[in-house]
Structure 1
C-alpha cells in the first residue's frame, strides 16, 4: 500500500514540474491595420507576455501608423509622444489578450503645433 501512495505522489509531482507555457499571442510585424494582426502564435516557455507596439509618425494627411504584436519574455511597456512621432507598447499576460491595437497613442495636435512653431523660430533666428 505504501508503495502505491508514493508512486502516485511522485507522478503528480512530475506532472506539475513538467508544465509548459500555453500562452498564445497575436503576432504581426509593422502592419498598417490591426486587422492584419490576427495570426496566433504559441509562445516559447520563457515568454510570459503578449505585447502590442503601436507607432505613429508624420503630420496631418501624411500620418503613418504601424502595429507590431508578439510574445515577449519581459514587459517593455512604454508610452512616448514627441508630437510628430509617438510610440506605445502595452503588455498583457493571458492568451490572446493583445487583440486590440494599443490605442493609447494619441498624438497631441497642440504639441505638434508648438513643435512646428519652435522649429520655425529656430530657423528664423538662424537666418535660414
Structure 2
C-alpha cells in the first residue's frame, strides 16, 4: 500500500501542469451579448482583458467592447471628453464575462446584503 502511495505521489509531482486557461473573446462588438464565446488561451497567456471604448454622447454614443487573452496586462482608463477607453484585467478562467468596466461586486458584500434582507423580512413578520 505504501508503495502505491509513493508511486502515485511521484507521478503527480512529475506530471506537467495542465494549462486550461479560458477567456471570453470578441472584437469591437456593440454589446456584451455578442462577447460570450469562450476560447482556450495560449500557454503564455496569464490574463483575460476587457477593453471598452465609448465615443460621442447621448443618442450618438458608440460603444465598443473587446475581450481577449493576453500574456501581460495593464489596467487603465483614458477619458478625453468625447471618447473614453478602459482596460480591465483579471487572472482566472472566464473572469472577463462582464462588459461593465466600473462595476465591481464583492461576494462578501452581496452575502451581507442578502442576509440583511432576510433579517428585515423576518423582523417585519414578527
Whether these two folds match at TM > 0.5 is yes
From the superposition, tell whether residues 5 and 97 of structure 1 become closer, same or farther in structure 2 (CA, over 3 Å): closer
Q: Which has the larger radius of gyration?
A: 1
SS in 2 for 1:75: coil
Instruction: Give 1:94 deviation, angstroms.
Output: 1.2
Instruction: Give 1:23 deviation, angstroms.
Output: 1.2
Measure, in 2, the Cα distance between the counterparts of 1:6 and 1:103. Answer: 48
Structure 1 residue 14 corresponds to structure 2 residue 14: yes
Unmatched 5+ stretches in structure 2: 104-126
CA RMSD of aligned residues (A): 2.4
Unmatched 5+ stretches in structure 1: 106-128
Q: TM-score, normalization: structure 2?
A: 0.71
The alignment covers a number of residue pairs equal to: 103
Q: TM-score, normalization: structure 1?
A: 0.70
Instruction: Give 1:20 deviation, angstroms.
Output: 2.9
Structure 1 residue 64 corresponds to structure 2 residue 62: yes
From the superposition, tell whether residues 11 and 52 of structure 1 become closer, same or farther in structure 2 (CA, over 3 Å): same
Measure, in 2, the Cα distance between the counterparts of 1:21 and 1:35. Answer: 27
Structure 1 residue 94 corresponds to structure 2 residue 92: yes
Runs of 4+ in structure 1 displaced over 6 angstroms? 3-6
From the superposition, tell whether residues 38 and 4 of structure 1 become closer, same or farther in structure 2 (CA, over 3 Å): closer
Measure, in 2, the Cα distance between the counterparts of 1:93 and 1:78. Answer: 16
